[in-house]
């Protein structure tokens, strides 16, 4: 009885702490509700006005290269929130997904540390991460929506539920094409038969279902099926204020470098998949978290036409990574700081560090993670035992 009482008190204590910090996170976001970024003024608020005026017929329109799923959410938010709070209506969507994502972060870290406060601290770290706060509640961007789907995908992969993971990835991809940054992990797991081909067939289903209402009200089906393709070719630029490989290269070389850059990125993805395929280390939860974090960090770094916000999923997953590998606690600090200082010019018109310097720091972080990944995928004999000790059973027990 005393033992059970101690467990109940511990759970109650965690629930109180969680409730307190979630309330504080929401309060902080409430105080940021009035800020209107240029993207809010130019895109999100006019889109919401269009939907409120035209109703369902508004979904015939092109929403800046976005799939219809986010405009649907805008419409729902516009119905739930009074017209006087249109700015808040836009921001509430991403704020709601801040909570969804933090829930899956909690669950994911719980696989590594089922007892203690690590999952609670991970949830708090995500809710109060500077770029999470800036992206959702100040900027009013929607990157948290697809990122929540990616974190859910990683959680389901770590617990051996490939159908749920494929559906989560499909939902993320139905929101924004940037969800593709996690695709190398799925290909790598498929190569190891840790993900079934039947589950992979589920990935396009959410997108195909999401375009049906827009098609029904008159938007051409070919247009709906090629939204992401048009988005990729609409603005020819090597880097959109992003700390990537192309922050060091003038845009005048775009025509020559763009095709070659895609080949280079494809080669790097193949190398990543090959490394996972050739490794004999069990694909336990720590390995999946490690591989996922590396995938969403290195792929946007080596691709052209990236925006500063495209490292958002890496900002979140690097926090999870640090809880799985505490000696690398500085990784989310580096990744998050680079993103934070990348945001400032676009969001607040403040430049602290050049993008070339931030790209150099990002490169150093990627090199550290690559070294860590290689040494764990191909451990020496005296490391094999310790690598195996990090394994988490597919059901999350242990």
Q: Are 325 and 293 in contact (CB under 8 A)?
A: no
**pLDDT per position as a tens digit, 123-170:** 999 999 999 999 999 999 999 999 999 999 999 999 999 999 999 999
What is the residue-averaged pLDDT of the chain? 91
Q: With 80 as the cut, is the pLDDT of residue 174 above it?
A: yes
pLDDT band of residue 316 (cuts 50, 70, 90) is very high
**For residues 15-23, average pLDDT:** 94
Q: With 80 as the cut, is the pLDDT of residue 318 above it?
A: yes
The 10 Å CB-count burial string (b at 16+, else e) for 82-92 is eeeebbbbbbb
Q: What is the rounded CA–CA span in Å between residue 122 and residue 322?
A: 9
C-alpha count within 13 angstroms, C-beta hemisphere, residue 148: 22
Q: With 60 as the cut, is the pLDDT of residue 394 above it?
A: no
Q: How many CB atoms lie within 10 A of CB 233?
A: 9
pLDDT band of residue 395 (cuts 50, 70, 90) is very low
**For residues 52-61, average pLDDT:** 93
Q: H/E element holding 112?
A: helix 86-112
Q: Are 318 and 332 in contact (CB under 8 A)?
A: yes
Lowest mean pLDDT among 7-11, 168-172, 200-204, 265-269: 7-11
Alpha-carbon distances of 66 from 70, 142, 146, 206, 358, rounded to whole Å: 7, 11, 12, 15, 28
Q: Are 358 and 248 in contact (CB under 8 A)?
A: no
Q: What is the rounded CA–CA span in Å between residue 126 and residue 362?
A: 20
Q: Of the candidates 39, 337, 70, which has an alpha carbon nearest to the alpha carbon of residue 210?
A: 70
pLDDT at res. 236: 81
- Residue 136, helix vs strand vs coil: helix
Here the tokens at position 311 are: 């490292």
Q: With 60 as the cut, is the pLDDT of residue 389 above it?
A: no
Most confident of the ranges 56-65, 71-80, 274-283: 274-283
Residue owning tokens 């700015």: 87
**For residues 292-317, average pLDDT:** 97
pLDDT at res. 249: 93
pTM, to two decimals: 0.92
Q: With 50 as the cut, is the pLDDT of residue 74 above it?
A: yes
In sequence order, which ranges of 254-352 are alpha helices (DSSP H)? 254-278, 285-302, 312-324, 330-348
């Amino acid at each position: 009885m005393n033992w059970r009482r101690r467990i109940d008190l511990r759970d109650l204590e965690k629930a109180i702490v969680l409730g307190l910090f979630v309330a504080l996170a929401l309060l902080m976001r409430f105080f940021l509700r009035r800020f209107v970024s240029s993207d809010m003024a130019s895109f999100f608020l006019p889109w919401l006005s269009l939907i409120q005026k035209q109703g369902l017929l508004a979904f015939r329109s092109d929403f800046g290269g976005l799939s219809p799923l986010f405009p649907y959410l805008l419409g729902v938010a516009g119905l739930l929130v009074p017209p006087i709070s249109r700015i808040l209506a836009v921001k509430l969507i991403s704020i709601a997904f801040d909570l969804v994502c933090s829930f899956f972060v909690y669950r994911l870290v719980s696989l590594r540390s089922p007892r203690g406060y690590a999952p609670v601290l991970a949830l708090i770290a995500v809710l109060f991460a500077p770029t999470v706060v800036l992206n959702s509640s100040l900027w009013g961007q929607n990157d948290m929506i697809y990122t929540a789907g990616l974190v859910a995908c990683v959680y389901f992969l770590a617990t051996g539920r490939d159908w749920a993971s494929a559906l989560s990835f499909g939902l993320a991809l139905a929101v924004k094409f940037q969800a593709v940054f996690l695709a190398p992990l799925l290909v790598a797991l498929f190569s190891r038969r840790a993900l079934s081909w039947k589950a992979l067939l589920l990935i396009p289903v959410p997108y195909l279902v999401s375009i049906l209402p827009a098609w029904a009200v008159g938007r051409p089906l070919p247009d709906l099926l090629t939204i992401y393709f048009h988005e990729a070719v609409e603005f020819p630029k090597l880097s959109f204020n992003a700390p990537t490989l192309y922050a060091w290269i003038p845009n005048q070389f775009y025509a020559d470098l763009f095709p070659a850059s895609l080949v280079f990125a494809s080669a790097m993805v193949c190398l990543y998949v090959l490394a996972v395929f050739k490794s004999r280390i069990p694909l336990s939860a720590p390995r999946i978290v490690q591989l996922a974090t590396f995938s969403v960090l290195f792929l946007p770094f080596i691709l052209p036409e990236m925006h500063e916000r495209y490292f958002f999923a890496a900002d979140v997953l690097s926090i999870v990574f640090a809880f799985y590998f505490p000696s690398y606690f500085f990784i989310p600090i580096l990744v998050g700081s680079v993103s934070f200082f990348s945001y400032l010019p676009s969001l607040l018109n403040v430049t602290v560090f050049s993008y070339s310097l931030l790209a150099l720091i990002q490169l150093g972080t990627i090199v550290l993670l690559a070294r860590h990944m290689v040494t764990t995928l191909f451990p020496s004999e005296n490391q094999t035992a310790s690598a195996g000790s990090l394994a988490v059973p597919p059901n999350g027990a242990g």
